[in-house]
Amino acid sequence: MKIKFTKKESGEISATIKGDDFSPEDYITMIKELKKGEGLEVEFEGDISKEEQGHINSMIEAINDIEKTASVEDEETNSDDMPF
């Protein structure tokens, strides 16, 4: 899923997907894609500073790592380790 971040004249940074504003349905799609192992991609438009881009990229990397971390934790969980 590609998310485009755009800085408006007001200084606000907005996120769009396929040209539409980010919506609640997009969260569901994003989670489904992350569970399938597909990561998020970013695109920047407008006068977004390198510092702001760095913060956004860090956030996206953390989100992309969620499923990777969950997968590793699932693999490390052994049914013999369960107390019941």
Instruction: Say what the pLDDT of residue 70 is.
Output: 58
* Tens digits of pLDDT across the chain (84 residues): 899 999 999 999 999 998 898 888 988 888 888 888 888 999 999 899 999 999 999 999 998 888 666 555 555 555 455 454
Instruction: Say what the pLDDT of residue 37 is.
Output: 85
pTM tops 0.95, yes or no = no
Report the distance separating Cα 41 and Cα 19, nearest Å. Answer: 14
Regarding beta strands 13-17 and 20-21, do their DSSP bridges make them parallel or antiparallel, or are they unpaired?
antiparallel
Burial of 18 (0-12, 13-18, 19+ CB in 10 A): exposed
Instruction: Say what the pLDDT of residue 51 is.
Output: 97
